[in-house]
Structure 1
Amino acid sequence: MHRLDPAEAREHIDRIKRFRILVMGRANAGKTTILQRVCNTTDQPEIYNGKGKKVNATVLQGSLKRGYHSIDDELVFKSNPRFVFHDSCGFEAGSEQQFDMMKEFVMNRAKTVQLDKRIHAIWFCIPLHDSHRMVTAAEKKFFDECDTGHVPVIVLLTKRDTLALDAFMELIDDGLNEDDAMERAAEVEKRKLIECLEKVKGWLNKSRFPPHDYLPLTGMQEEVADCTTLLTYTANALNEEGLQQLLISTQQSNLGLCMEFAIMK
């Protein structure tokens, strides 16, 4: 097989005009909200099938909410069409068939020679609102069985904001009044976040194909949420400078990200 030298590889990457991300995780993990914040919009995405034909969103809307759609579908936001997203809804329900379809998609799209179809990064969302089942059997199975090759997987700990209420209630249960509980809640929330992060790392770092990195997200329900850290983590995880530039080029208005990678004069 012909191996591309660095110059050829860069030339091939330069022909790719859109950055493609697979977003994984169970329903209600906050995936759509993250994508909206990254693309700076509150609109729903336009949906295209695997052949590039636009799908009637009103027909699919109910299915999307329940997670019934094809992983091949492309989700594109008008506000930033240089991003293409795929959503892996379905496999966490325990269906072997759904898992196999997801696995086949990941394996094929991570290594396809069609560079415009290749996924460049995977965001795996794990919500913190249910501390008793932060990592499900299906999620562990993904990291044990799915070799994503050079495509980095970043675990996003979502619904972090729910820890604030947990912290407040814990302090109330300890006998503090509301004012004192409010004052100390941030400190307890930080401790809870560290505990959750260590638990998830403990489970997933033992897997055959562990994540590249972990990132707790906060404030994603705010329309002005800052996604610079998420994009920086993603760019740092990429093993090709050309792919870093491709990602950064989708965010030219993000001064913090551009300065981070010194592409602004």
Structure 2
Amino acid sequence: MSAAQIMGQKHQYTINFFWDGHRRNPRFIFHDSPGFETGDETQLQQVQEFIRKRANSRRVDEQLHAIWFCLVTNASRPLLDLERKFFNEERPTHVPVIAIFTKFDDLISQIYDPELGWQENRRIAEQVLDTRFKNPLSDFKYPPNAFLTMEGEVFME
């Protein structure tokens, strides 16, 4: 069981789910690209071309319906140059981009102060997430349409 929070323009939701959709519904098709960590511009160009091609396809089974853009939430990790470029360059606007912040539980662990309660540590981690990721992403020319925070169960003593 995992927990997720999704935040759109005005609302934030927490969703508990177990993902096994690809086995239960073969109509879900996922495409994974190499990450942008290497800084290789050709990877970004390939991703952008794939998005343009699939977004403009007339066949429903070939169309791109959403982009899940995963970002590891690490207190010391800034947004990468290619990630910044992705959100500043034009792309088909009818395909929503959802920024997925993975490993939020790790971020809580990184900033964890044992003298503070769990809720206060979580609140501070959310502030770090806002400062390092959500606010900068929202300021780009083509920001994400929504934010989704992924976390597993965290046990702190």
TM-score above 0.5: yes
Counterparts of 1:83 and 1:115, CA distance in 2 = 12
4+ residue segments displaced more than 6 Å:
none
Q: Which structure is higher in strand share?
A: 2
Go from structure 1 to structure 2 and tell me whether the alpha carbon gap of 1:37 and 1:89 turns closer, same or farther (over 3 Å shift).
Answer: farther
Which residues of structure 1 form unaligned runs of 5+?
Answer: 1-35, 41-76, 222-265
How far the C-alpha of 1:37 sits from its partner, in A, is 4.0
Distance 1:91 1:139 in 2: 7
CA positional deviation for 1:105: 0.3
Is the CA contact (8 Å cut-off) linking 1:123 and 1:154 kept in structure 2? yes
Alignment: residue pair count: 138
Tell me what 1:185 maps to.
118
Mapped partners of 1:139, 1:107: distance in 2: 17
Whether 2:28 is the aligned partner of 1:83: answer yes
- Find 2:20's aligned residue among 11, 19, 39: 39
Identify the match of residue 103 of structure 1 among 33, 45, 48: 48
Matches within 5 A, 1:10-29: none
Task: Give 1:220 deviation, angstroms.
Answer: 7.7
Give the percent of matched residue pairs that are identical in Structure 1 and Structure 2: 34
Q: Distance in 1 between matches of 2:120 and 2:57?
A: 46
Given candidates 67, 82, 85, the residue that maps to 1:122 is 67
Instruction: Determine which of 146, 149, 152 is the counterpart of 1:219.
Output: 152
* CA RMSD between the two structures: 2.4
Aligned match of 1:46: none
Amino acid at match of 1:38: W
Displacement of 1:83: 0.8
Measure the CA separation in 2 of the matches of 1:39 and 1:185. 30
- Aligned 1:1-265 pairs, distance under 5 A: 37-39=18-20, 77-128=22-73, 130-168=74-112, 170-171=113-114, 176=115, 184-219=117-152
User: Which structure is higher in helix share?
Assistant: 1
Which structure has the bigger radius of gyration? Answer: 1
CA deviations 1:157-199 (Å, max 9, x no partner) are: 110111332243x33xxxx4xxxx5xx1332122222331243
Call closer, same or farther: CA 1:160–1:82 in 2, change over 3 Å.
same
Which sections of structure 2, spanning at least 5 residues, go unmatched?
1-16
How far did 1:133 drift?
1.8
TM-score (norm 1): 0.47
3-state SS, counterpart of residue 86 of structure 1? coil
8 A Cα contact 1:103 1:146, kept in partner: no
Deviates more, 1:196-205 or 1:79-88: 196-205
Q: Is the partner of 1:156 in helix, strand or coil?
A: strand
Q: Bigger relative contact order, structure 1 or 2, given CA contacts below 8 A and separation 6+?
A: 2
Change in CA separation of 1:148 and 1:134 when aligned onto 2, cut-off 3 Å: farther
- AA paired with 1:157? F
